[in-house]
Amino acid sequence: MLMLRTLASPHLARRTGTVCRALRQARARITTQHGNLPSSESPITPNLQFISSVTQDGSKIPTYRVLDGAGTPLEGAILPDIDEAMARRMYENMVQLPIIDNLMYNVQRQGKLAFYVTHYGEEATLIGSAAALAPDDEVFGQYRELGVLMWRGFTIDNMMNSCFGNCEDPCTRGKQMPMHFGTRAYHFHTISSPLATQIPQAAGAAYAIKRDPARRGKNCAAVYFGEGAASEGDFHAGMLFASTIGSPTLFIVRNNGFAISTPATEQYYGDGIAARGPGYGVHTIRVDGNDVYAVYSAVKEARRLCIEEGRGVLVEAMTYRVGHHSTSDDSFAYRPRQEVEDRKRIDNPIARFRLFLEARGWWSEAEEGAHKARTKEAVMAAFRRAETLPKPEVREMFDHVYGGEDPWMIREQREELSRLLRKYGEAWEPWRAELQKHKGAGRELIGEQP
Amino acid sequence: MIISARRVLGLRPVRAAQRCSHRWNTTAALQQTTEQGGVLPSVVTSSYLRTTRDTALRAPGIKWTDESAGGSSEVLIAGRETRKMNMYQAIRDAMSNALMRDDTAVVFGEDVAFGGVFRCTMGLAEEFGRERVFNTPLSEQGIAGFAIGMAAMGHTAIAEIQFADYIFPAFDQIVNEAAKYRYRSSGQFQAGALTIRCPSMAVGHGGHYHSQSPEGFFLGSAGIKLAIPRSPLQAKGLLLSAIRDPNPVIFMEPKILYRSAVEQVPIDDYQLPLGQAEILTPGSDVTLLSWGSPVYHCETAMYMLSSPPGGLDAHVPSSLRSAKVELIDLRTIMPWDVDTIVESVNRTGRLVIVHEAGRTGGVGTEIGAEIQKRCFLKLNAPVRLVTGWDTPVPMQFEKFYMPDPLLRGQIRTSDERAKLYGLLASIRNGS
């Protein structure tokens, strides 16, 4: 049931606009008969009737799809305006993700890396949505969004240095766990572990964009999160604020069926996350997250609506988390291995897009081999370099707690560590060994006079 | 919990505010006549309120934001004006200044558009427009998260949490997000342009959720600052500093002072420094440290120590009446002004810390530990804490709960006498 994928027929409404029109017409019929409640637009009806779904007939919200599992356009589907160069770039980025994931996952298993999360199965959602955004739209992520950064130009070197938290880490300078990327240059706000906190923040950032004459009408804030995070109070707050106050926030939920071990059936009883959008007055679409063209089209249109109306828009991308939750998780403890294998075979976002490209003559077996080899080589080179670079200077531990002048406790505690390092840095083995791993071996602190 | 807030003060906010003001003014106006015929100082008569233009303009640490670096402040003071304001008017004035000078500044929260349940935002929406002064849905985590997002874009976000008691739903956003935003991105992103204002402390009838002083909960969240003003002039200067400080700041406003504290406030744009305490009355025998509304309780206690009203007479030995108490207003809770307190305690040898919050885990324990470390050889007595009890703030028992309820005009009850005695005893123990 989790794998359920509605095959969107061309007869079904693909745009929220059609649904809205139908609702309006139905509402108008009732209204003329018995009038409205004075304080709302609610039409009065003599029928005792409960509602459990946002659709008129009680059916589930349809899933928008452009390419079928074999990469063939659905009948009636309109292909997005993507030329060969763009399509190839999208595919190359999609393929690159699992190559990085494979390596990083394995080196984590070897103990060379503290932690890692893979993106298996969500490549189309990440690259399709990233390609539909403007490069300077503000992005707030959860942690499974490396693809968005890669699309924007974040290099494999950057990625490796950040995961190793070494002295060239461009994101957190070794202060956060691996995968907590963030870079101002690419308008990608630093990831933090607490789930969903970024959702109302994105609404605030979007409001700032709306107030900025240089960016108003040009940019939005896009926020990514999983279907599990959508259970947090901050999801409610973010959706509510973006719609009520009015801020161009693009909510992109990766519904991959699991929050660690918890299946989506234990996360909510309603029709996924998409069904919540209309409750907040937010334009909403559900899209096949394994169809990169559908994701691209949906996000592009969602972005347009969001900026034009200056309010929140919700995109629910239906995917499947093929990999384990993280390197600290063995997902076969709560789901059958066969289910995952089937999923990889039957509904693989990369294979689907490759079939489409090959049918057009935009990609070939030879190119596939060459690209994979090139990527593997680049990834290995970046990995070997990142692995050997020292950690940042120990002094940096105290940097950026506060802006402006450091308060006395920060100053005094930095001096206290300096004194301790002078006294015990050599004598205490755990410190002696650890100091050698840092750039400058702590000399910038040890040399400091008390 | 907000529903209860609205029941108490928000459902018909203006009327509720009037009701409160009536009570507060009544309380504040109780200039207790002692049996000897003397008048005890209270908030309205406090010597710490600057009631003349000249004393207001010469408030220590005042920094005129329009003053050039080389300008002589003497010259510039000559043309400056002050106006009599209560604390909510001074806070409104500060926000008006901030909005005027900074186009990115916005003010938002629950019910701020019509002027706020405490009138701190009166007229701001009309003056600056609903795009800049607006109501939010009723969600504290949303308010804090939204404000962080704005601040992360470099926009000045002045958010209001209706009561400090309701800041806890936003605790995650404040502690895990706002406080760490700069550190975790190594300075690439930060939420420094964020200020969260919230009314705090007891009001006489606020019960559990309209009385709290939650400043202690934020002590351990490195990355944020926290300030509490004691008067209108302080409130304006410290709030403008908070708004412009490059760090997220929580600004707790003692709500009982909104109307009762009145003084001359400079109408120009000025700031008072964060991180600096202010010595209100110099002394040499004991250091009395407080912040917010209890500062005025301390003032009363000092007066009663030197001339105890009838009935308490017997409890204050004549040898103590000439004790010289140094009263310090901490003003900034984080980072607190360790230098001023250490210097004072090294001179007096005794420290009494007074705050409304319960004792365990409160700010007093943190300061006490630091002072005992730094002033060990100079201390003549243990550091003494006079605080609320370790219970929730109780509705019908508030006068027995608060550390020093003497200002309520109830000095004849034995319990208050015990409280006063507690304060005096600590001075005596040390002598």
* Nearest chain B CA: its distance from A176 CA (Å): 6
Burial level of A30, CB count in 10 A (0-12/13-18/19+)? middle
Cα–Cα distance between B232 and B259 in angstroms, integer? 9
C-alpha distances in angstroms, A156 versus A92, A113, A129, A149?
14, 16, 20, 10
Residue A373 lies inside a defined structural domain of this protein: yes
Query: Is position B140 annotated as part of the catalytic site?
Result: yes
pTM for this one? Answer: 0.90
Identity of the residue numbered B129 = G
Rounded distance between C-alpha atoms, residue B161 and residue B168, angstroms: 10
Task: Name residue B133's beta-bridge partners.
Answer: B107
Q: Looking at residue A423, what is its pLDDT?
A: 96
Q: d(Cα A370, Cα A373) in Å, to the nearest integer?
A: 5
Does B278-428 match B44-67+75-271 at the fold level?
yes
Q: Which of A338, A373, A388 is the last residue of a domain?
A: A388
Check B110, B160, B177, B210 and give the catalytic one: B210
Is B278-428 assigned to CATH 3.40.50.920?
yes
Q: Among partner residues A183, A233, A402, which is closest to B247 by beta-carbon distance?
A: A402
The answer to whether residues A229 and A144 belong to one domain is yes
**Secondary structure E strands in A264-380:** 283-288, 313-318
d(CA B174, CA A89): 40
Which residues from B are below 8 Å from A201, CB to CB?
145-146, 148-149, 152, 177
Query: What is the topology classification, in CATH, of domain B44-67+75-271?
Result: Rossmann fold (3.40.50)
Distance, in Å, from the CA atom of A32 to the CA atom of A29, rounded to the nearest integer, reads 6
User: Which token pair is B416?
Assistant: 């208050």
B residues 183-202 lying closer than 8 A (beta carbon) to A: 183-190, 192
A29 has a pLDDT exceeding 70: no
**Closest by Cα among A286, A359, A304 to A61:** A286
C-alpha distances (whole Å) from A311 to each of A214, A240, A246, A285, B231 are 18, 10, 5, 15, 41
Bridge partners (DSSP) listed for residue B159: B108, B196
Within-domain flag for A76? no
A187 and A90 part of one domain: yes
Say whether both A284 and A430 belong to one domain. Answer: no
Angstrom distance (rounded) from CA B342 to CA A243:
51
Note the pLDDT tens digit of each residue in A133-170.
Answer: 999 999 999 999 999 999 999 999 999 999 999 999 99
Assigned domain for A55 exists: no
**In a shared domain, residues A252 and A285:** yes
Asked if residue A57 is part of any domain, the answer here is no
Q: Which residues of A touch B151 (CB under 8 A)?
A: 204
Q: Which chain A residues are within 8 Å of B131, Cβ to Cβ? A: 211
- pLDDT digit string (tens) for A218-260? 999 999 999 999 999 999 999 999 999 999 999 999 999 989 9
Give the model confidence (pLDDT) of A395-419 as tens digits: 999 999 999 999 999 999 999 999 9
Cα A298 from Cα A132, distance rounded (Å): 9
The nearest CA of chain A is from the CA of B157 a distance in Å of 9
Q: What is the mean pLDDT of residues A8-35?
A: 55
Pairing of β B384-388 and β B351-358: parallel
- Interface confidence, given as ipTM, is 0.91
pLDDT score of B72: 58
> Do residues A356 and A211 both lie within one domain?
yes
One domain, residues A3 and A151: no
- Residues 277..336 of B with a Cβ closer than 8 Å to A: which? 334-335
Please say whether the beta carbons of A438 and A431 come within 8 A.
no
The beta-carbon neighbor of A172 closest among B131, B142, B185 is B185
Query: Residue A26 has what pLDDT?
Result: 58
**Do residues A355 and A233 share a domain?**
yes
CA distance A356 to A73: 8
Tokens 């960016």 locate to: A215
Residue-range definition of the domain harbouring residue A399: 394-446
| A380 lies in the same domain as A437 | no
Tell me which residues of chain B, numbers 207 to 246, contact chain A at a CB-CB cutoff of 8 Å: 222-223, 225, 245-246
- How far A164 CA lies from chain B's nearest CA (Å)? 15
Q: How many residues does chain A have?
A: 450
Which residue do the tokens 């849905």 mark? B137
Residue written as token pair 């558009």: B113
Q: Is the pLDDT of residue A5 over 50?
A: no
**If you average pLDDT over every residue of chain A, what do you get?**
91
Answer whether B41's CB lies under 8 Å from B47's CB: yes
Q: Where are the alpha helices (DSSP H) in B313-394?
A: 338-348, 363-374
The number of angstroms, rounded, from the C-alpha of A288 to the middle of its chain's C-alpha atoms is: 15
Per-residue confidence in pLDDT tens, chain B, 431 aa: 333 333 333 333 333 344 333 333 333 333 343 334 456 778 888 999 999 999 999 999 999 998 765 655 555 677 899 999 999 999 999 999 999 999 999 999 999 999 999 999 999 999 999 999 999 999 999 999 999 999 999 999 999 999 999 999 999 999 999 999 999 999 999 999 999 999 999 998 999 999 999 999 999 999 999 999 999 999 999 999 999 999 999 999 999 999 999 999 999 999 999 999 999 999 999 999 999 999 999 998 888 888 888 777 877 777 778 889 999 999 999 999 999 999 999 999 999 999 999 999 999 999 999 999 999 999 999 998 999 999 999 999 998 898 853 433 323 333 344 444 455 544 433 33
Does residue A258 sit within a domain? yes
Structural domain boundaries in chain B: 44-67+75-271, 278-428
**A194 within 8 A of B176, measured Cβ to Cβ:** yes
pLDDT tens digits for range B392-417: 999 999 988 988 534 333 233 333 44
With CA atoms as reference, report the closest residue to B93 among B104, B107, B103.
Answer: B107
Interface A-B, measured as beta-carbon pairs within 8 A, has a size of 168
Q: Does any domain span residue A59?
A: no
Q: Is residue A135 domain-shared with residue A38, that is, in the same domain?
A: no
Q: How many domains does chain A have?
A: 3
Q: What is d(CA B232, CA B91) in angstroms, rounded to the nearest whole number?
A: 7
pLDDT tens string A93-142: 999 999 999 999 998 889 888 899 999 999 999 999 999 999 999 999 99
Whether residue A422 is contained in a domain is answered as: yes
